[in-house]
Structure formats: C-alpha cells, structure tokens
C-alpha cells in the first residue's frame, strides 16, 4: 500500500493580539495557522530573538516547546523572562519517526517592560 506525501501549503501565523505586549500581561494570547494537514504533525516553540535554532527538530528544544496542533495559547508573563523580541515558531514534520521536517513559519512579538509610574517635565 502506498501513501502520497503532500507538502503542507503556505504557512502563516495569525493572531488577534498586538505585536507589542507588556511583560506582566497574564491573558491568553492565541496564535494559529490553517488546520494541520492530515499527513503531518505540527509543533510550536517560543525562542528569544538570537536563540532561534538553525534547524527545527521535532523532539528538540523541549524547554521552548509550547504545544502541538494548529493553534496555541501563550501567557506572556509565564514565558518572557525579560523584555525583548521573541519568536513564535511552528513546524511541520512527517508523522512517522524520524519525523522529517517539512516546513515552518514564524512571528515576532515584542515584550515590553512595565512603564514607570512617574512623570518628568523638562
């Protein structure tokens, strides 16, 4: 029996959230793609900018893994240790081990510090 291998279509991450989020924000922010094609697994990670790996591996970067499937929810106050730019990545992998990489996409989110509670007049 043979099964066709179909590469996933164009990957794009969508959200209703802002691209700038306060570091203490405790709301769930949903990020999603089109439905995961039936012949692949889809996995999500969050990396600090500059720490994004050259190659995604299905079972790699366990500390950065957010979830599986076509959407995730992130509470940035639990993920962002410091302000800065973070990269949300999702990758598609063949369903059979060794989970061959088939494609990915990413979205950047800027996490900002809590504003100071003082006003200065110059």
Assess contact for 44 and 90: CB atoms under 8 A. yes
pLDDT on residue 48? 96
**Amino acid 5: pLDDT:** 54
Task: Work out the average pLDDT over 98-119.
Answer: 90
91, with CB counted inside 10 A (0-12, 13-18, 19+), is buried
The domain spans of the chain are 18-112
Q: What is the pTM of this model?
A: 0.85
Say yes or no: domain 18-112 is CATH 2.30.30: no
The pLDDT tens digits of the residues spanning 17-50 come to 999 999 999 999 999 999 998 889 999 999 999 9
């Amino acid at each position: 029996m043979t099964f066709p291998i179909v590469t996933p279509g164009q990957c794009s991450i969508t959200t209703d959230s802002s691209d700038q989020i306060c570091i203490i924000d405790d709301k769930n922010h949903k990020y999603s793609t089109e439905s995961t094609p039936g012949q692949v697994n889809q996995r999500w990670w969050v990396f600090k900018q500059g720490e994004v790996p050259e190659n995604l591996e299905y079972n790699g970067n366990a500390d950065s893994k957010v979830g599986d499937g076509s959407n995730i929810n992130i509470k940035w106050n639990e993920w962002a240790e410091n302000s800065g730019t973070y990269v949300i990545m999702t990758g598609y992998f063949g369903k059979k081990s060794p989970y061959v990489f088939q494609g990915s996409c990413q979205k950047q989110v800027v996490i900002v510090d809590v504003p100071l509670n003082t006003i200065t007049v110059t």
